[in-house]
Amino acid sequence: MSVQAMFYVKEINHRTISQADQVNVDIKLAAAFGGYLQGLPEGNGDWSKYTPQGELSMTVTNPDAIEQFEIGGVYRLTFDKAE
């Protein structure tokens, strides 16, 4: 069984690593729910029915992946147990 949840991007911070001349991007997401976000798709209540709460923070270095995120964008996360 998998669990799906919707999170929105609340913060994007770019950092340059001088030794590698590489850009690292820190992306912070928070649980999306109900009337908080306009146009939120249905089905977010499957994992936390009334007021879902959660945060996700990740550092992304792949430029193609970085381009997929925008402030306020809502993303559906699917959690599957790794076998």
Say what the alpha-carbon torsion angle 70, 75, 81, 83 is, to the nearest 10 degrees. -50
Q: Compute the residue count for the chain.
A: 83
Indicate the pTM of the whole model: 0.79
> Bigger pLDDT: 4 or 60?
60
Nearest to 33 by CA among 18, 44, 17: 44
Cβ–Cβ under 8 Å, residues 66 and 60: yes
pLDDT, tens only, 16-59: 776 667 789 999 999 887 655 556 666 566 666 666 789 999 99
Give the pLDDT confidence score for residue 30 in this predicted structure: 93
9's tokens: 């991007």
